[in-house]
Each structure stands twice: as C-alpha cells, then as structure tokens.
Amino acid sequence: MSRVLSVEDLGIGFRSEGQDFTVVRDVSFSLEAGETLALVGESGSGKSVTSLGVMGLLPPPPQSRTTGRIVLHSGDGDIDLLDLPESRMRRLRGDRIAMIFQEPLTSLNPVHTIGDQIVEAIRSHRRVSRAKARARAVELLEQVGIPDPQDRLGTYPHELSGGMRQRIMIAIALALEPDILIADEPTTALDVTVQAQILDLLRRLQKDTGMAMLFITHDFGVVADIADRTIVMYAGQTVEEGRTETVLSDPLMPYTIGLMNAVPRLETAGLKLGDLKTIEGFVPDPAALPQGCSFHPRCAFMQEGLCDTSPPSIEDAGGGHMVRCKRWRQIGEGRET
C-alpha cells in the first residue's frame, strides 16, 4: 500500500475572550491507500477538531492556530496542506480529500434539490457540461443505493429519511473519487439497521475505489466492524494506538480500558448484574488541564507521586502498539496473571 497522508506533531489552539488554549497536542498518524483508521474518544477529546484541521476548515488566525505538518502524498509530489493558500486548499477539498459530516440535515442546503447540490460539487472541480454532471449524479445515487435515482435528483433534503440523507452526503463526498475520505460520526444519528447499511456501503465503496478513510466515532462496535487501525484520543492527545484487534483485545491505557468496560454486552443484556460501568468525571477543560497525566483524576490505576507529577510520554508496548501511560507495564502484567 502507498501512503496518502501524513500528520506530524499536529497542534491546534483557539483564542477565546483574550485567552489562548490548546485543544489538540502532538498528534501524529499516517494513512495508507485502502486503509481505515478510526479516531475514538469521548466528546471533547479532539477528534473532530483534528479532522477539521486536516481539511483546513478551522477559523483563520488569530481565532485559531495550527502547527505541525499535514502532508498529502501523490504522484505529483508531497503537499504540505498547512502551507497552502485557501484558494489552492479549496481546489483540493472535495477533489483529493473529502468529508462526510455528522449531521446531514444541517450539511445539505434545504433550498436546493439533491441533484443541484451534487452537480455543483462536480462542476466546481471539473469542466463538464451540466448534462454530464447530472448523468454522473444519477450514477452516484445508484452507487450509494438510492432507489429511482433519476427521480430523486429533484428531491429536497427534508423529503428524505436520515439514512437517505446520509447516502446523499456520501454520494457528494465521493463525486470526484477522492484519495481520502474523512467520516465524522456518519452513523451516530441512525438506527442500528441503517447504521449497518451505511457501514457496508462505505466498505464496498472503499474496496471499489481504493480510497483511504479516517473514521471518527465514539462507538467501539463500529470500530471493530470497520477499522484496520485505531487511535484513542483523550484531552487532545493520542493515548493509545495500534492495530484494531490489538487495541480492542489488549488495551493498556486505563482510559481505553474504561471505555471498553462501558460498552453494553449482548451476552449480559437483561441480566441483573449491577449498574453499567462508567468512567467517573468529565474530559478536562483544555484551558485547565490537570498536572501530570490528563486522565489521572478519573483513573482507577492512578498512583500518587507518579501519575500526577509529569505528563507521560507515548511508548511502544510492542508491535507498534503505542501507549501513553506510566503504568502500562503493570497493567499488562496484572491482566496476564
């Protein structure tokens, strides 16, 4: 596989009421063609802000600041997206790198038909006639499983179900066959049946086109179903990373362990086994992070004098399984015994 994206030491900060604060710190990852990388974590962990930084959709300075490197790899050479003017970034956005947003009803224009919105996406990047663009729109609707695609071109977003609107968003994102697709919780507002259909659709389209996918979610069930590799984020940092089967079967970061324990189990459904396990507390305010490990106030494995003194570095636990925790060795040994 060939690498299509490299993110190196990404940092993202904002200014609010005269105060600067950082919401993403030292995040690094890469994407290979045909690969799916999942970003997982609670709301406020920095997942969506990371994706918006990659897309160049954050407010301009001084309202926000982005540091590090975001490199798009192609046959024409490497492009550092942070060095591009907005005019050139706009040409890449949608063409080489596209995004499916979390809520399609607010992402689609309510006063334009579905057909007009797909045609606009195509003609803004390709010099084709309106007739050819409409023909391509019909192909896309058929590709994403919309029945009677020709008739649907004249439909408005409010006339469609949530699952249908999400399929329209996928069709728009894939209109120009991008190398990279960023999917920001595309199944969160859908029922489980439609969710499964959307995931199957994304897998099929990825197989057909060879695109890489950055999939943002808080649902470990979805992660297990679709991701090749997984990054767990907390308080704007990567706290665990590795092959999905490794992260899910052998989590070493207490935050990941807590998230996994909080997932309802089918085999215990309906049984009176006590309350569902949770992680006490909340993701910290980025303007007032705890000293030491950002997770230590909520951590069941916290050790005074160790976890609350200096921030932990991220370490390789073996085979590329990266963990940001000073006690990951003891946690791993305790599980083995």
User: What are the pLDDT digits (tens) for 194-244?
Assistant: 888 888 989 988 998 899 999 999 888 889 999 999 999 999 999 999 999
3-state secondary structure of 267: helix
What share of the chain in percent tops pLDDT 90? 74
Residues 221, 89 share a domain: yes
Q: What does pTM read for this prediction? A: 0.92
Residues 202, 81 share a domain: yes
**Segment among 16-20, 155-159, 282-286, 310-314 with least mean pLDDT:** 16-20
Residues 196, 296 share a domain: no
C-beta separation of 133 from 123 below 8 A = yes
How many Cβ atoms sit within 10 Å of the Cβ of residue 137? 26
How confident is the prediction for the chain on average, in pLDDT? 91
Residues 265, 116 share a domain: no
Query: Pairing between strand 212-217 and 180-184?
Result: parallel
| Apex 93 CA angle, 90 and 99, nearest 5 | 140
272: confidence class by pLDDT, cuts 50, 70, 90: low
Residues 190, 72 share a domain: yes
pLDDT of 276: 74
Tell me which H or E stretch contains 222. Answer: helix 220-226
pLDDT of 16: 85
Distance CA 206, CA 95 (A): 16
Residues 196, 81 share a domain: yes
> Before 297, cis peptide (omega within 30)?
no
pLDDT of 268: 57
Residues 201, 303 share a domain: no
DSSP string, 53-83: HHHT-SPPTTTEEEEEEEEE--TT--EEGGG
Residues 171, 27 share a domain: yes
Structure token pair of residue 182? 């960023």
Tell me which residue range forms the domain holding 307. 241-336
Position 193 pLDDT exceeds 50: yes
C-beta separation of 216 from 187 below 8 A = no
Position 266 pLDDT exceeds 70: no
337: confidence class by pLDDT, cuts 50, 70, 90: very low
Residues 142, 82 share a domain: yes
Position 329 pLDDT exceeds 80: yes
pLDDT of 197: 87
Across the range 26-44, mean pLDDT stands at 95
Residues 197, 297 share a domain: no
Position 284 pLDDT exceeds 70: yes
| pLDDT tens-place string over residues 44-97 | 999 999 999 999 999 998 899 999 999 999 877 899 999 999 999 999 998 999
- Which residue among 217, 234, 251 closes a domain? 234
Across the range 311-337, mean pLDDT stands at 90
Number of domains forming the structure of the chain = 2
- Which residue among 197, 216, 234 closes a domain? 234
pLDDT of 76: 78
Residues 169, 111 share a domain: yes
- Which residue among 188, 215, 234 closes a domain? 234
Distance CA 6, CA 29 (A): 6
